[in-house]
Structure 1
Amino acid sequence: MRAAVVTTFGGPEAVEVVETEVPEPGARQVRIKVAAAALNPVDAGVRSGVFGGAGERLGFGWDVAGTVDAIGEGSAWSVGDEVVALHHGPVKPLGTHAEYVVVDTDAVAKAPEGVDAVHAATLPLNALAAVQALEFLELTPDQSLLVTGAAGALGGYAIQLAAHRGLSVTALAREKDEELVRSLGAAHFTAGDGGGFDAVLDAAVIGEAALARVRDGGAYMGVIPNAAPASVRGVRVGEVGVLADGARLAELVRLVEEGVLTLRVAETYALDEAAKAHARLAEGGVRGRIVLVP
């Protein structure tokens, strides 16, 4: 099968598409024939060596939408099931940017009804990160939340999930994105200063500048491990370490089917164009997710 990998760290030109063996599922695992897989900023980090693994062959991709085509002993799924899943971990020999991928059975959920695989593939990583971040923040409906990077994939899901919970959400984004973030459920918009929020979900990774907008004793949630600023003024600081959770993913699928969550595809590329997809991601300004199709 074909898979996108990196063997020498670098820019988008370091991405290779190679032939490799089809993986076999073990106990409590399933193999998915990939129909679509999203490209995320974490993949750029893998490519450039942020997570280590020098000298190894590293695969790309966390999100997948496709069809179960083989199962291991103890799997809860059946061959032919249409699913979505999160393939956790930045340092792995094969990711979801491949024709087949093996994942743990507990990382899988039924694909959303009435949604094509390209759109479904944008759900797992970013929506799970958003919901897990909101759980850390422990906000009640009478409290306020600032979401930085609000027009991005993670930020957009965070707005919709928070608004669905009755929170007052302020979106921090570029002025040209105001209409977009308001359509996702942001009650307020800012492109500049302002503070006093009960919590900040820092999807834009602006660190101390975002922390400064939290009230004394509030909460800050970062989205990159080991990159959060130090706590000040009694602010509780955390970082989302996204966990594969098929049960929670199934709840997010239900919210897609109910129209609560919007699946946004920025562009699609063939798997053989993986390097071009990385180059597009590096340009910035992507609204939604770039998706690879084998």
Structure 2
Amino acid sequence: MRAAIVRRFGGPEVIEFADLPVPEPGPGQVRIRVAAAAVNRIDLSTRDGKLAHAGLLAPADSYALGWDVAGEIDALGPDATRFPLGARVIGLRDVLSAPGTYADYVVLDEAAVAPAPATASAAEAATLPMAGLTATRSLTLADLRRGETLLVTGAAGSVGGVLLQLAALHGIRTVAVAAPEDQKFVESLGATWFVPRTAPISAAVRAMVPGGVDAVVDAAVIGVPAHEALRGGGTFIALVAPFAPPPLRGTRVIVQEVYADGPRLTELSALTDAGLLTLRVAATLPLTAAAEAHTRLAAGGIRGRLVLTP
């Protein structure tokens, strides 16, 4: 089978496709015939060496790419009983040393897999695992009650967009920070207030929410400027550890680390089928265009996920 790997770190040109044996599922695992794999920024950080330089990748001859997957189960390992053959599923590969999802097939623990939304295409479904699990875990860690306030940076992105919708479902008021042209879009996702990312964030937020918001999820990795919009004793959720601000004014600063969670992903799939979550595909490209997808994502301005289809 084809699988995207990198043998050296660098730009998109270092991505190559190896011809590997079709993997066999072990105990409690399933093999998925890949229909779609979303492209995430962590794939760029794997490819260009940032993860390795941060000590997050063990030395190896090659590294696989791809976390998100949507596809069909075509083989079951011993003791794998949650899904039948042929089931449409989604899943997350969260072990960096394991084979990636930019491939024709991928093997995952069945605990990392959930039914795909019946109302979504494979490409749409592939955008849900990483973004959805990051958003829902961030909201859980923020520990907000109905009526409290949450600042979401990068609100028009995939994580930010899901987070706005989940917060609205829980009765949490949100301040969305995004590009000026994205105001109507983030308001359609349930944002209570809007702040253009070109504005001084702390002053603009505090003009709307006197004293500051109760929590921040920093999906755009703004750091200290976003923290300044937080009230004393509030909670700041960082998605990238090196850019987490210090816990000033009695605040809690938590670095959210996403992980595969089939039961929670099942809940997100159900919310999608209920019409409560919107999944966004910026474009679909063939699997062999992975380098082009990386180039486009790195250039910025993408709304929704780029998705590779074998």
The TM-score by the shorter chain falls in which range?
Answer: over 0.9
Given that 1:129 and 1:154 are in contact with CA atoms closer than 8 Å, whether structure 2 keeps it comes out as yes
> Which range is displaced more, 196-205 or 184-193?
184-193
Partner of 1:70: 75
Structure 1: how far apart are the matches of 2:11 and 2:186? 31
Structure 1: how far apart are the matches of 2:61 and 2:162? 34
SS across alignment from 1:51: helix
Amino acid in structure 2 at the alignment position of 1:121: A
Structure 2: how far apart are the matches of 1:273 and 1:179? 32
Partner of 2:86: 80
Partner of 1:11: 11
C-alpha displacement at 1:197, in angstroms? 0.8
Match of 1:235 among 251, 256, 271: 251
C-alpha displacement at 1:226, in angstroms? 4.5
Structure 2: how far apart are the matches of 1:93 and 1:243? 14
Q: Which aligned pairs between 1:72-111 and structure 2 lie closer than 5 A?
A: 72-75=77-80, 76-89=82-95, 91-111=96-116
Unaligned runs of 5+ in 2: 207-211
Q: Which aligned pairs between 1:189-204 and structure 2 lie closer than 5 A?
A: 189-191=194-196, 192=199, 193=201, 194-195=205-206, 196-204=212-220
Structure 1: how far apart are the matches of 2:248 and 2:257? 22
TM-score w.r.t. length of structure 2? 0.92
Partner of 1:38: 38
SS across alignment from 1:16: strand
C-alpha displacement at 1:18, in angstroms? 1.9
Structure 2: how far apart are the matches of 1:161 and 1:98? 31
Structure 2: how far apart are the matches of 1:22 and 1:50? 29
SS across alignment from 2:250: coil
| Percent pairwise identity | 48
Partner of 1:48: 48
Structure 2: how far apart are the matches of 1:250 and 1:235? 32
SS across alignment from 1:169: strand
Unaligned runs of 5+ in 1: none
Structure 2: how far apart are the matches of 1:186 and 1:59? 37
SS across alignment from 2:5: strand
Given that 1:130 and 1:157 are in contact with CA atoms closer than 8 Å, whether structure 2 keeps it comes out as yes
Structure 1: how far apart are the matches of 2:175 and 2:293? 31
1:286 aligns with 2:302: yes
Amino acid in structure 2 at the alignment position of 1:289: R
Structure 2: how far apart are the matches of 1:103 and 1:224? 25
Given that 1:5 and 1:94 are in contact with CA atoms closer than 8 Å, whether structure 2 keeps it comes out as no
Q: Once the two structures are superposed, what CA deviation does each residue of 1:108-140 show, in whole Å capped at 9, x if it has no partner? A: 111111211010000001100000010000000
Amino acid in structure 2 at the alignment position of 1:6: V
Partner of 1:123: 128
> How many residue pairs are counted as aligned between the two chains?
293
Given that 1:35 and 1:293 are in contact with CA atoms closer than 8 Å, whether structure 2 keeps it comes out as yes
Structure 2: how far apart are the matches of 1:236 and 1:7? 39
TM-score w.r.t. length of structure 1? 0.97
Structure 2: how far apart are the matches of 1:163 and 1:189? 14
Structure 1: how far apart are the matches of 2:147 and 2:172? 7
Structure 1: how far apart are the matches of 2:135 and 2:244? 16
